[in-house]
Structure 1
Amino acid sequence: MAYLLLAKQRISMAEQLIQAIRKLADIPKGEANRLLNISQLKPIKRGELFISEGQIPRKFAFIHEGLFRYYYVDDKGSEFTKGFFPENSFLSSYSAMIQQKPSHFSIEALEDATISVVKYQDWQGILSTHPCWQSLLLALIEKAFIKKESREREFLLFDAEKRYRIFLENYPGLNQRIKQHLIASYLGITSVALSRIRRKMGVVNLG
Structure 2
Amino acid sequence: MIENLVLKNISKHISLNENETSYFLSILEEKKYAKKNIILQEGEICRTINFVQSGTLRAFYRDPEGKESTIMFAISDWWITDMSCFINQQPAMLNIETIEDSLILHLKKEDLDELYTKIPKFERFFRIIMQNAYIREQIRVIQNLSLSAEQRYYIFLEKYPQVAKQVRQKQIASYLGITPEFLSMIRANKNK
Q: TM-score range by the shorter chain?
A: over 0.9
Partner of 1:151: 140
Could you tell me how far apart the structure 2 residues matched to 1:77 and 1:54 are? Answer: 15
Q: State which of 62, 66, 82 in structure 2 corresponds to 1:73.
A: 62
Could you tell me how far apart the structure 2 residues matched to 1:114 and 1:51 are? Answer: 15
The residue identity in structure 2 corresponding to 1:176 is K
2:164 paired with 1:172: no
- What SS does the corresponding residue of 1:61 show, helix, strand or coil? strand
Partner of 1:57: 46
Aligned residues: 192
Partner of 2:79: 90
- Flag the structure with larger Rg: 1
Partner of 1:135: 124
The CA RMSD over aligned residues, in Å, is 1.3
Partner of 1:182: 171
Counting aligned pairs with the same residue, the percent is: 30
Deviations 1:32-65 (A, max 9, x none): 2211000121101111111111111111211110
Could you tell me how far apart the structure 1 residues matched to 2:162 and 2:50 are? Answer: 22
Unaligned runs of 5+ residues in structure 2 are: none
Deviations 1:105-158 (A, max 9, x none): 111110100011122112211212222111112111111111111111110110
Partner of 2:113: 124
Partner of 1:15: 4
Could you tell me how far apart the structure 2 residues matched to 1:107 and 1:71 are? Answer: 6
Partner of 2:28: 39
The alignment's TM-score, normalised by the length of structure 1, stands at 0.88
Partner of 2:186: 197
Could you tell me how far apart the structure 2 residues matched to 1:181 and 1:170 are? Answer: 18
Could you tell me how far apart the structure 2 residues matched to 1:83 and 1:57 are? Answer: 16
The alignment's TM-score, normalised by the length of structure 2, stands at 0.95
